[in-house]
C-alpha cells in the first residue's frame, strides 16, 4: 500500500517542457526526497503525482493501478503545502477534521481521531485556536495533522520547512523522520536543501531542469555522484570542482574533491596556498585556500587547526576519494 | 484649541441638524405663514401615527434588504464568472462597471421608459413576441421594480469588491480542500464563502448607508405610488415637507430617519466588528 510508479511522465506548460519524460519508482514505505535547485520542477512533479496538474504524457500508477486520470481526492494521497494552506476561518480542530467531514465520517469518530492526532502532534493546547493565532511550527503541525488523520497511502510534502527558522527546522526534521518511522507510510518530500535530503531520505532523487540526474541512497550519492551536477549539489560545504591541468594529470576533464578529503598540513603538501578565510567552529575548521594554478579550494580539518588569514598551508587530496569526470561531466568509473 | 477646519466641519454638520431638530418641535406650515409656535411632540406624534409611516418603514427595509440580497448573491456569482479566464477579460470588466457611472435619475428613467413601459418598453415587446400580456411593471409591482433598478446600479460595485476578494484567495487552499475530498460545492461553501465574508461585510456596510436614503429613483419613476406602495422614509419626509408644505412634520420625520439610520448603523457595526477582525 503506497507504491507510486511514474512511466514516461512528462509535463509541458504551453510550449515549455518543464519535465521531459521520466521514469521513477517509489516503493511502499519509502522516504523519498526530490532535491534540486529552485525552479527545476520539483513542485510540478509532486503536483503531477497529487493530481493537481494533469500529465502531458505518460502514466502514473499508485498501488499498481493506473491513477493518471483520477482526481486528487481519489488517489488517497495527503499533501502538506509550502504555505501550509490551512483554512484561516476554521479552528485547529475543524482544520484537522475537514477531510474526515468531507468523507462523511460520524461526528464521534471524527472527534476521537482529531483528538488522537492532536495529542500525537502536541496540538491539544491550541485545538480551539485559529491558524492566525499560531506560530509557524504549530501551523506546520496542524497541516501535518490534517494529512495524517486521513490515513493516506502516501504523504506528499512540498518544502514544508522552508518557512521556519533554522532551529525549528532542525526539530521538525527529526519530528517528520520519527513520524515516518511510527506510521511506516510512503513519504515523498520536496526540498531544495540538500541537508534535509541527506538527513531524512531513504532514497534521494536529484533533479535538474526537470531531468533526473541520479537516484540513490544518501551515501551512494555522497560516495559515487554520477555527474558533476550531483557532485557539487550534494555535500556541505560543497565539493571543490577543479578543471584544467590538475584534472588532466589525474586523467579526467574535471576532478572533484570534498573539503573533508584533504590532508591539511602547515608545511609540505601536494599543493600549497594562502589562507583567505578561516572559520573555527571548535569541532571543525574550514579554510578557504588560494592555490596558484588550481583555484580557490575549501578544506576542512577536524578539530582545531592553527591557520589564520595570510598563512601558507599545504593541501594533499586523498587520491582514493577523488572524483573524476569526463568531458560530458559523467563519472569515470575506475 | 480646535483647528478652524474642525470648527467648520462641526458647523457644517451641527447647524442643519440643530435647525431640523428645532423645526421638528414647531408648528410650521408653509401655507400658514406667521403661525409658527412651539408645538411639543405633536409633529412626532403625527408622523409616527400616520399609517404611511409604517408602510414607508416597511418599504425602506424591503428596499435595502432586497437590493443587498440581489447585489451580494448576484455579485458573488458574477465575480465567480468574471474570475474565469476568458477572451477580452479587461474589456468585459471595464464594461461591467459602467452602470455605476450612470446617474441614478438617468438610469431610473432609462429603465422606466425603455424597459418597463407597458406599451413601448423592451419587456413589453418581448412579452408580445411570445404572445404574453405586457406587464405594467411600475404600476403593479412598484417596489420590486425599484429594487431591480437600484440593484442594477449597485451590482457592479458589489461584484468588483467581491472579485478582488476572490482573487486574493490562496489557490493552495482550494487545492488542499480538493485533496481533502471536498467537491466543488463544499469548496465553495466551506472555503470561498468564508473568505468572501469580509468583503461582503464591506459591501453591505457601504451599500446600506446609501440605500437608506434612496430618493431620486423613486421620484422619477413612481413618485412614491401607487398610494404609498413605493414610498420609503426619505420620500415620505419629502412628501410631508414639500408636497404638503408641513416643514414641522417633515423635520420630525427627518429626525426619525436619523435615529433609524443610527439603529441600523449600530447593528452593522456589531456585524463588522465580528467579521472584520478575524
Ligand atoms: N502553471 C504554470 N505555468 C507555466 N509555467 C509553470 C507553471 N508552474 C510552474 N511553471 C514553471 O515550471 C518550472 C518549475 O517550477 P516548479 O516545479 O515550481 O519548481 P521548483 O518547485 O523546483 O522550484 C518553473 O520554471 C516555472 O516557471
Ligand atoms: Mg517549489
The CATH number for A297's domain is: 2.40.50.140
Taking residues B168-192, what's their average pLDDT?
92
Q: Does B195 touch chain A (CB under 8 A)?
A: yes
pLDDT tens digit string along A170-198? 888 999 999 999 999 999 999 999 999 99
CA B22, chain centre distance (Å): 29
Contact yes or no for B175 and A85 at CB 8 A = yes
pLDDT interval class at B276 (50, 70, 90): low
Contact yes or no for A85 and B178 at CB 8 A = no
Q: Check pLDDT > 70 for residue B277.
A: no
Given the CA of residue A40, which atom of ligand 1 is nearest to it? 22
Do the Cβ atoms of A257 and A240 come closer than 8 Å? Answer: yes
Taking residues A155-172, what's their average pLDDT?
89
Examine the domain organization and report whether A164 and A309 are in the same domain: no
Residue A59, domain CATH: 3.40.50.300
Give, as one character, the DSSP assignment of residue B133.
P
Taking residues B210-220, what's their average pLDDT?
88
For a pLDDT cut of 90, what percent of chain A falls above it?
Answer: 70
Whose grid coordinates read 419587456?
B123
Say if A205 falls within a structural domain. yes
- Rounded to whole angstroms, the Cα distance separating A269 from A323 reads 19
Taking residues B233-249, what's their average pLDDT?
83
The x, y and z cell numbers of residue A81, run together, are 503545502
Taking residues A257-273, what's their average pLDDT?
90
- Rounded to whole angstroms, the Cα distance separating A239 from A295 reads 13
Closest ligand by atom to A46 CA? 1
Taking residues B247-273, what's their average pLDDT?
85
Q: Report chain B residues whose CB lies below 8 A from the CB of A85.
A: 170, 172-173, 175-176
What is the structure's pLDDT at A66? 92
pLDDT interval class at A256 (50, 70, 90): very high
**A103-117, B24-38, B222-236: least confidently modelled range:** B24-38
Q: Check pLDDT > 50 for residue B115.
A: yes
Helix axes B51-83, B193-211, angle to 10 degrees: 140
Contacts of residue B251, defined as CB under 8 A and 6 or more positions apart, other chains included, come to B20, B21, B22, B23, B24, B26, B28, B43, B241
Examine the domain organization and report whether A101 and A127 are in the same domain: yes
Say if A155 falls within a structural domain. yes
Q: Given A165, A197, A229, which residue is the final one in a domain?
A: A229
Q: Check pLDDT > 80 for residue B135.
A: no
Examine the domain organization and report whether A216 and A277 are in the same domain: no
pLDDT interval class at B189 (50, 70, 90): very high
How many separate domains does chain A show?
2
Q: Closest chain B residue to A70 measured between Cα atoms? A: B179
Say if A33 falls within a structural domain. yes
Q: Which of A43, A190, A211 to mutate for ligand 1's pocket (most ligand atoms within 8 Å of CB)?
A: A43
Taking residues A119-142, what's their average pLDDT?
90
Q: Choose among A81, A130, A132: nearest Cβ to B176.
A: A81
Closest listed residue to residue A91, CA positions, set A57, A118, A63: A118
Q: Does the beta carbon of A140 sit less than 6 angstroms from any atom of ligand 1?
A: no
Say if A334 falls within a structural domain. no
Q: Check pLDDT > 90 for residue A275.
A: yes
Q: Does the beta carbon of A205 sit less than 6 angstroms from any atom of ligand 1?
A: no
Examine the domain organization and report whether A213 and A286 are in the same domain: no
Examine the domain organization and report whether A215 and A255 are in the same domain: no
Nearest Cα of chain A lies from the Cα of B78 at a distance, in angstroms, of 23
- Measured in degrees and rounded to the nearest 5, phi and psi for residue A22 equal -140, 155
What is the structure's pLDDT at A100? 93
Q: Does the beta carbon of A35 sit less than 6 angstroms from any atom of ligand 1?
A: no
Contact yes or no for A73 and B182 at CB 8 A = yes
Instruction: Say if the ipTM goes beyond 0.85.
Output: no
What is the structure's pLDDT at B278? 47
Examine the domain organization and report whether A117 and A210 are in the same domain: yes
Contact yes or no for A98 and B180 at CB 8 A = yes
Nearest Cα of chain B lies from the Cα of A6 at a distance, in angstroms, of 20
B residues 141-180 closer than 8 Å to A (CB): 170, 172-173, 175-180
Mutate to test the interface with A, among B181, B189, B196 (most CBs of A within 10 A): B181
Neighbours of ion ligand 2 (CB under 5 A): A 43
Nearest Cα of chain B lies from the Cα of A44 at a distance, in angstroms, of 13
Examine the domain organization and report whether A75 and A165 are in the same domain: yes
What is the structure's pLDDT at A165? 87
Say if A262 falls within a structural domain. yes
Examine the domain organization and report whether A89 and A173 are in the same domain: yes
Q: Check pLDDT > 60 for residue A119.
A: yes
Q: Given A209, A229, A249, which residue is the final one in a domain?
A: A229
pLDDT tens digit string along B74-107? 999 999 988 888 777 778 877 887 888 888 888 8
Q: Report chain A residues whose CB lies below 8 A from the CB of B177.
A: 87, 98, 102
Give, as one character, the DSSP assignment of residue A91.
-
What is the structure's pLDDT at B246? 81
Do the Cβ atoms of A331 and A224 come closer than 8 Å? Answer: yes
What is the structure's pLDDT at B275? 67
pLDDT tens digit string along A13-53? 989 999 999 999 999 999 999 999 999 999 999 999 999 99
The x, y and z cell numbers of residue A203, run together, are 532514497
Taking residues A212-221, what's their average pLDDT?
94
Closest ligand by atom to A34 CA? 1
How many A/B residue pairs have CB atoms within 8 Å? 60
Examine the domain organization and report whether A177 and A221 are in the same domain: yes
Q: Can you identify the CATH homologous superfamily of domain B41-277?
A: MetI-like (1.10.3720.10)
Q: Choose among A83, A99, A130: nearest Cβ to B172.
A: A83
Nearest Cα of chain A lies from the Cα of B161 at a distance, in angstroms, of 20
Q: Render A10-59 in DSSP notation, one character per residue.
A: EEEETTEEEEEEEEEEE-TT-EEEEE-STTSSHHHHHHHHHTSS--SEEE
Q: Choose among A81, A87, A103: nearest Cβ to B191.
A: A87
Q: Closest chain A residue to B185 measured between Cα atoms? A: A102
Residue with CA at minimum distance from ligand 1 atom 6: A13
Query: What is the whole-number distance in angstroms between the Cα of residue A49 and the centre of ligand 1?
Result: 15
Q: Does the beta carbon of A142 sit less than 6 angstroms from any atom of ligand 1?
A: no
Q: Does B181 touch chain A (CB under 8 A)?
A: yes
Examine the domain organization and report whether A213 and A297 are in the same domain: no
Q: Which residues pair with A16 in a beta bridge?
A: A13
Contact yes or no for B182 and A52 at CB 8 A = no
What is the structure's pLDDT at B82? 86
Contact yes or no for B180 and A99 at CB 8 A = yes
Query: What is the whole-number distance in angstroms between the Cα of residue A162 and the centre of ligand 1?
Result: 17
Examine the domain organization and report whether A156 and A37 are in the same domain: yes
pLDDT interval class at B191 (50, 70, 90): very high
Say if A331 falls within a structural domain. no
The x, y and z cell numbers of residue A75, run together, are 488517489
Give, as one character, the DSSP assignment of residue B189.
I
- Rounded to whole angstroms, the Cα distance separating B235 from B257 reads 11
Q: Which of A9, A17, A18, A83 to mutate for ligand 1's pocket (most ligand atoms within 8 Å of CB)?
A: A18
Mutate to test the interface with A, among B85, B179, B186, B200 (most CBs of A within 10 A): B179
Closest ligand by atom to A13 CA? 1
Say if A272 falls within a structural domain. yes
Domain, as residue range, for A318: 237-325
For a pLDDT cut of 70, what percent of chain A falls above it?
Answer: 100
Examine the domain organization and report whether A212 and A292 are in the same domain: no
Q: Report chain A residues whose CB lies below 8 A from the CB of B199.
A: none
Say if A333 falls within a structural domain. no
To 5 degrees, how large is the angle CA A31–CA A34–CA A39?
A: 160
Amino acid at each position: 500500500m503506497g507504491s507510486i510508479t511514474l512511466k514516461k511522465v512528462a509535463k509541458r506548460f504551453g510550449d515549455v517542457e518543464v519535465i521531459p519524460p521520466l521514469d521513477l519508482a517509489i516503493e511502499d514505505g519509502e522516504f523519498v526526497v526530490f532535491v534540486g535547485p529552485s525552479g527545476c520542477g520539483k513542485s510540478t512533479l509532486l503536483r503531477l503525482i497529487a493530481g493537481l496538474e494533469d500529465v502531458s504524457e505518460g502514466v502514473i500508477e499508485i498501488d499498481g493501478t493506473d491513477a493518471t486520470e483520477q482526481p486528487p481526492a481519489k488517489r488517497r494521497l495527503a499533501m502538506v503545502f509550502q504555505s501550509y494552506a490551512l483554512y484561516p476561518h476554521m479552528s485547529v480542530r475543524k482544520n484537522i477534521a475537514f477531510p474526515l467531514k468531507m468523507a462523511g465520517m460520524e461526528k464521534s469518530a471524527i472527534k476521537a481521531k482529531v483528538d488522537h492526532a492532536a495529542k500525537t502532534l502536541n496540538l491539544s493546547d491550541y485545538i480551539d485556536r485559529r491558524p492566525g493565532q499560531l506560530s509557524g511550527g504549530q501551523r506546520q503541525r496542524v497541516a501535518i495533522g490534517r494529512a495524517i488523520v486521513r490515513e493516506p497511502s502516501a504523504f506528499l510534502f512540498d518544502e514544508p520547512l522552508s518557512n521556519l527558522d533554522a532551529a525549528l527546522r532542525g526539530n521538525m526534521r527529526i519530528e517528520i523522520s520519527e513520524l515516518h518511522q511510527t506510521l511506516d507510510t510512503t513519504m515523498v518530500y520536496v526540498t531544495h536543501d540538500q541537508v534535509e535530503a541527506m538527513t531524512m531520505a531513504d532514497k534521494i532523487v536529484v533533479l535538474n531542469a526537470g531531468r533526473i540526474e541520479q537516484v540513490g541512497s544518501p551515501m551512494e550519492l555522497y560516495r559515487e555522484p554520477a555527474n558533476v551536477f550531483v557532485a557539487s549539489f550534494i555535500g556541505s560545504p560543497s565539493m571543490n570542482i577543479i578543471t584544467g591541468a590538475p584534472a588532466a594529470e589525474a586523467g579526467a576533464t574535471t576532478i572533484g574533491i570534498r573539503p573533508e578529503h584533504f590532508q591539511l598540513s602547515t608545511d609540505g603538501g601536494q599543493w600549497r596556498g594562502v589562507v583567505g578565510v578561516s572559520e573555527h567552529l571548535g569541532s571543525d575548521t574550514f579554510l578557504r585556500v588560494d592555490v596558484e594554478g588550481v583555484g580557490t579550494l575549501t578544506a576542512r580539518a577536524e578539530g582545531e587547526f592553527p591557520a589564520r588569514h595570510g598563512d601558507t598551508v599545504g593541501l594533499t587530496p586523498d587520491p582514493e576519494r577523488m572524483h573524476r569526470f569526463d568531458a560530458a561531466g559523467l563519472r569515470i568509473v575506475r | 484649541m480646535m483647528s478652524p477646519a474642525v470648527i467648520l466641519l462641526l458647523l457644517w454638520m451641527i447647524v442643519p441638524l440643530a435647525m431640523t431638530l428645532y423645526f421638528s418641535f414647531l408648528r410650521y406650515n408653509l401655507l400658514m405663514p406667521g403661525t409658527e409656535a412651539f408645538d411639543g411632540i405633536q409633529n412626532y406624534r403625527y408622523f409616527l401615527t400616520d399609517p404611511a409611516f409604517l408602510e414607508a418603514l416597511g418599504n425602506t427595509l424591503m428596499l435595502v434588504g432586497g437590493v443587498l440580497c440581489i447585489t451580494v448573491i448576484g455579485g458573488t456569482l458574477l465575480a465567480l464568472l468574471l474570475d474565469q479566464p476568458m477572451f477580452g477579460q479587461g474589456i468585459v470588466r471595464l464594461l461591467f462597471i459602467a452602470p455605476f457611472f450612470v446617474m441614478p435619475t438617468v438610469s431610473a428613467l432609462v429603465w422606466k421608459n425603455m424597459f418597463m413601459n407597458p406599451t413601448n418598453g423592451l419587456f413589453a415587446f418581448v412579452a408580445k413576441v411570445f404572445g404574453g400580456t405586457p406587464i405594467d411593471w411600475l404600476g403593479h409591482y412598484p417596489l420590486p421594480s425599484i429594487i431591480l433598478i437600484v440593484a442594477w446600479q449597485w451590482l457592479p460595485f458589489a461584484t468588483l469588491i467581491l472579485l478582488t476578494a476572490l482573487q486574493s484567495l490562496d489557490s493552495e487552499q482550494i487545492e488542499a480542500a480538493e485533496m481533502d475530498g471536498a467537491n466543488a460545492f463544499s469548496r465553495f461553501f466551506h472555503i470561498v464563502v468564508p473568505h468572501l465574508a469580509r468583503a461582503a461585510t464591506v459591501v453591505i456596510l457601504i451599500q446600506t448607508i446609501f440605500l437608506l436614503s434612496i430618493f431620486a429613483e423613486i421620484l422619477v419613476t413612481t413618485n412614491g405610488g401607487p398610494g404609498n406602495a413605493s414610498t420609503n422614509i426619505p420620500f415620505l419626509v419629502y412628501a410631508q415637507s414639500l408636497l404638503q408644505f408641513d416643514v414641522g412634520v417633515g423635520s420630525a420625520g427627518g429626525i426619525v430617519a436619523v435615529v433609524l439610520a443610527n439603529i441600523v448603523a449600530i447593528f452593522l457595526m456589531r456585524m463588522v466588528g465580528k467579521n472584520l477582525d478575524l
